[in-house]
Structure 1
Amino acid sequence: METLTIGDVRVSWLNGGDNHLDGGAMFGVVPKELWSKKYPTAYDNRIPMRTDPLLVQTGNEVILIDAGIGNGMIEGKQKKHFGITEESNVETDLMKLGLTRHDVTKVAMTHMHFDHVAGLTTRSQGKLESTFPNAVIYVSDVEWNEMQNPNMRSKNTYWKQNWEAIESQVVPFHDSLQLLPEFTMHHTGGHSDGHSVIVISSQGEQLVHMGDLLPTHAHHNVLWVMAYDDFPMTSISQKEKWLQYAYNQNAWLSFYHDAYYRAIKWDTKGHIINAVKFNQSLLSQ
């Protein structure tokens, strides 16, 4: 698996599964002739995407950023509809690091759409249980409220099966929350009303995880936002804010969905100055 060191913090990408969504939806009003040059289609105008959690290790803390799509949580027509060809292997990857799902101490959720949250629960003997029973799960209070009380639009991605089994572990936060000296969550809105970004800082180095405000490297243009965004103008303003922050801090920008890159450093002119690429061949190892 790919790893990145931020000061004293180790970040590893775990195999959380994949999906293939419509490229037009992923790039909103941007014409295909533009976005397809940066992120090609796989089939039927769908683009390949990962759903890979970031594992953050610092001191005795084992933290997940988002949770993948899980196993057996999305079935039948839904798998075909969302273009899922691979389910989660998070537990296998944890074992490679000498860990189990019981060792995860915290889970930081950028938001709780199905492709980020389904891995939090597991089916066992016909019942749903928490995948990470010893972890505290952090999410913005706005997101947690909508997860439990979805509206006409959001009920298609906020599913009861994804929150009932983990309800007692959830700690909502308002505005910003410092989980550790090295790890902070900030509510942004945009993609969803309760969406958050995460900043990791250690020994003068930083990583900014923008979640679905920056789902892939091809969304680097501030104006390239998804049709899935509930509040696109908020997405644009928050993207501009956090990209500028990353440039000013010489920070890494990391990805959950990108099928080509795990993390990138850009300069202020949009040139890639450093990158961690996704190694497809590692999936079978």
Structure 2
Amino acid sequence: MESITIGRAKLTWLNGGVTHLDGGAMFGVVPRALWSKKYEVNEKNQIELRTDPILLQLDNVNILIDSGIGDEKVTEKQKQIFGVKEESKIEKSLAELHLSTNDIDIVCMTHLHFDHACGLTRWEEGKLVPTFPNAEIHVNAVEWNEMRHPNIRSKNTYWEINWRSIEGKIHTFESEEEILPGLKMVHTSGHSDGHSIIVFEDNKETFIHMSDIMPTHAHQNVLWVLAYDDYPVSSVLEKEKWMTYGYEKQAWYVFYHDAFYRAVKFNSDGKVIDSVTRPPSKYNE
């Protein structure tokens, strides 16, 4: 497992599973001739997208950023549609760190689409129960409302099996919430109406988790947004805002979906000056 320490924060990437989605959908109106130079594509025009939660250990608190695709939460048909080649192995990842799901104190959900939220619940004796029984789950209020009351489009990604058994653990916020000193969740909209990012600042050290308004390093260009985005113009404007902010801070950008990079650090000109990479994917061999 890859790790990085940024100020007081230690980040470790867990194994949350992997999907393969259409590259055109993931890069919207950007021509394949351009985006395929920056991100590998297979013969089906699919790109590999990890669904790996980030274990954030800060001030003796264990925080999870998003929850992975879960285990036995998608059907065989859905596995084919979404290119799911492996499901979550969160318990195994935590065990390697001498932790268990009981040790997670807080889960920060950037949004509640199935590929981020399936890991919130698990099967136990035929019933769905919270995967992280001692954790408080933080999510934007708009997102939580849509999760429970999806529209004709969003019902394909907001699933009842991912929220019904965790209702009592949900803590919502409106525009911004400080989770711990220096660590905050910020509502952006864009990818979904309730989409949020995570920002951490500790003196001169900063990391920003843009979640799905910048799901991979190849989405650095502020105009490269997803066809999946409900509010693409908001994605562009928020990305422009937070990329400008991060460049000035020489912040680390950390990823949930990227199959090649865990984190990338840019200078004030937007050039890569440091990175944390993943081992080569077995799916691209």
TM-score, structure 1 as length reference: 0.97
Q: Deviations over 1:217-261 (max 9, x none)?
A: 000000000000000000000000011111111110011100000
Residue 56 in 1 paired to residue 56 in 2? yes
8 Å Cα contact 2:26-2:225 kept in structure 1: yes
- Residue 282 of structure 1 deviates from its aligned partner by 11
- Residue 202 of structure 1 deviates from its aligned partner by 2.3
Q: How far apart are the structure 1 equivalents of 2:21 and 2:278? A: 19
Stretches of structure 2 lacking an aligned partner (at least 5 in a row): none
8 Å Cα contact 2:102-2:132 kept in structure 1: yes
Residue 209 in 1 paired to residue 217 in 2? no
Alignment of 1:146-165 (within 5 A): 146-165=146-165
- Residue 279 of structure 1 deviates from its aligned partner by 1.8
**2:228 maps to what in 1?**
228
- Residue 280 of structure 1 deviates from its aligned partner by 4.0
**2:93 maps to what in 1?**
93
Alignment of 1:33-72 (within 5 A): 33-72=33-72
Distance 1:281 1:237, change over 3 A: closer
**1:180 maps to what in 2?**
180
- Residue 182 of structure 1 deviates from its aligned partner by 2.8
Please say which of residues 50-59 and 231-240 is displaced more in the overlay: 50-59
- Residue 152 of structure 1 deviates from its aligned partner by 0.7
8 Å Cα contact 2:249-2:268 kept in structure 1: no
Q: How far apart are the structure 2 equivalents of 1:182 and 1:2? A: 23
- Residue 7 of structure 1 deviates from its aligned partner by 1.1
**1:134 maps to what in 2?**
134
Q: Deviations over 1:143-200 (max 9, x none)?
A: 0000000001100000101100111100110100001003100000000000000011
- Residue 59 of structure 1 deviates from its aligned partner by 2.3
8 Å Cα contact 1:189-1:235 kept in structure 2: yes
Q: How far apart are the structure 2 equivalents of 1:222 and 1:282? A: 30
Q: How far apart are the structure 1 equivalents of 2:5 and 2:282? A: 19
8 Å Cα contact 1:15-1:93 kept in structure 2: yes
Q: How far apart are the structure 1 equivalents of 2:126 and 2:87? A: 19
| Equivalent AA in structure 2 for residue 215 of structure 1 | P
| Equivalent AA in structure 2 for residue 23 of structure 1 | G
TM-score, structure 2 as length reference: 0.97
RMSD: 1.3
8 Å Cα contact 1:261-1:276 kept in structure 2: yes
> What is the SS of the residue equivalent to 1:37?
coil
Stretches of structure 1 lacking an aligned partner (at least 5 in a row): none
**1:271 maps to what in 2?**
271
Q: How far apart are the structure 2 equivalents of 1:126 and 1:38? A: 43
Moved >3 Å (runs of 4+): 280-283
> What is the SS of the residue equivalent to 1:40?
coil
- Residue 58 of structure 1 deviates from its aligned partner by 1.4
- Residue 8 of structure 1 deviates from its aligned partner by 1.7
| Equivalent AA in structure 1 for residue 27 of structure 2 | F
- Residue 281 of structure 1 deviates from its aligned partner by 7.2
**1:118 maps to what in 2?**
118
- Residue 43 of structure 1 deviates from its aligned partner by 3.3
Q: How far apart are the structure 2 equivalents of 1:70 and 1:43? A: 27
Q: How far apart are the structure 1 equivalents of 2:67 and 2:202? A: 23
Q: How far apart are the structure 2 equivalents of 1:240 and 1:26? A: 18
**Equivalent residues, number:** 283
**1:31 maps to what in 2?**
31
- Residue 203 of structure 1 deviates from its aligned partner by 4.0
8 Å Cα contact 2:65-2:108 kept in structure 1: yes
**2:244 maps to what in 1?**
244
8 Å Cα contact 2:204-2:249 kept in structure 1: no
> What is the SS of the residue equivalent to 2:117?
helix
Alignment of 1:188-199 (within 5 A): 188-199=188-199
- Residue 10 of structure 1 deviates from its aligned partner by 0.5
